[in-house]
Amino acid sequence: MKEILQHWDFIHYFQSAEYSQKFLKKCYEKIGSSQAEMKSYDNCYPFMYYLEQGELYYKQAMMSPLSLKPILLFYGYIHFIKAIVLTEDPAYPETTTVLAHGITSRKRKKQQYRFLQDEVKVQKNGLFTHFSDLVFHVKHIVGEKYKMEDLLVQIPELEEAFLVLFQKKTMFWFTQRHELTIDDSLLSHFHMSEDLFKQYLSEKMTGNLSWSSSNSLLAPSDEEVLPFRWHLNKRRLALPGIRNEATTIPEVLIHYAILYNLSMIARYETEWWVELLKNRTNEDYPIITTFINLTTEKSPFLLLKILKEKI
């Protein structure tokens, strides 16, 4: 929790036009902009305001009822994302195409709708696509559809929720010594031999894998390195136990997609949303509430970490 509070303090360092201008100039020079000085002056106030508004939305979400939280959290999220985009794209927003959300949700069925089975689709243009390309250089996700459950099982903090509610093991944890033990239970879960499993990891992870003398995998980092996920409070890596389309996308994008969908439901599917909150008829309710509690804490941490690494 202390580190989370420090991240909120970190925003306030940018509430100085002089410092923000110097920071943006450094960012633009790094990407080779020929107008680094001029653009840093043009963008320092929008950059400051995006961060300020993002914080306000998050702080308001923390004090608001659950029914409103997804809307406030999503708008806080995209304001932080716009600030990050402004460090990578001096001309943002250069065209109206980047102003769209960049992701859409399908038309909902009124009967027997389940949130976990709902999907979102990545669009060719929009903030989601522009941000993911600038920061993570992932163009392959355009046109991809992601099911909510497939996204949620990739978040390590939700492991217990899926284990209790659905008896699904979603994570294999690195130990306190930062090692992942390659034992029979892990190999059985993935239906692989030891050699095949090692080959699978080497193909999925960029960079070299390190192994201990006891044939355990050494943690490649103290932060998310795909396919490994990072738990905020445990401060440990985990290997997702469920492989799906979301395995290859960073957690920052996962939070965006889920928050977008929840915010659309809260805004436009009022009857279903209020009935879920009041009647709590199925597992959608505990999964959604657990995610909302988590993302309130973790998503600004992940986004501001991107900014922090630019200092």
Residue entry with tokens 């939280």 = 69
Backbone angles phi, psi at 220, to 5 degrees: -75, -15
What mean pLDDT do residues 162-185 have? Answer: 91
Element (H, E) at 104: strand 103-105
Distances, alpha carbon 288 to alpha carbons 131, 233, 273, 301, in Å: 25, 19, 11, 20
Beta bridge partners of residue 237, listed in sequence order = 230
pLDDT exceeds cutoff 70 at 209: yes
Q: Are 310 and 27 in contact (CB under 8 A)?
A: yes
- pLDDT-derived band of residue 95, with 50, 70 and 90 as boundaries? confident
pLDDT score, position 6:
61
Domain spans, the chain: 2-154+248-308, 156-243
What mean pLDDT do residues 214-228 have? Answer: 86
DSSP 200-268: HHHHHSSS--EE-TTSEEEPS-SS-BTTBEEETTTTEEEEESS-SGGGGS-HHHHHHHHHHHHHHHHHH
Q: Which of 68-77, 146-155, 182-191 has the lowest mean pLDDT?
A: 182-191
27-77 pLDDT tens trace: 999 999 889 999 999 999 999 999 999 999 999 999 999 999 999 999 999
Q: How many CA atoms lie within 13 A of 89 on its CB side?
A: 18
User: Do the strands 216-218 and 210-211 form a parallel or antiparallel pair, or are they unpaired?
Assistant: antiparallel
pLDDT score, position 109:
63
Spatial distance between the Cα atoms of 280 and 269, rounded to a whole number of angstroms? 16
pLDDT score, position 1:
45
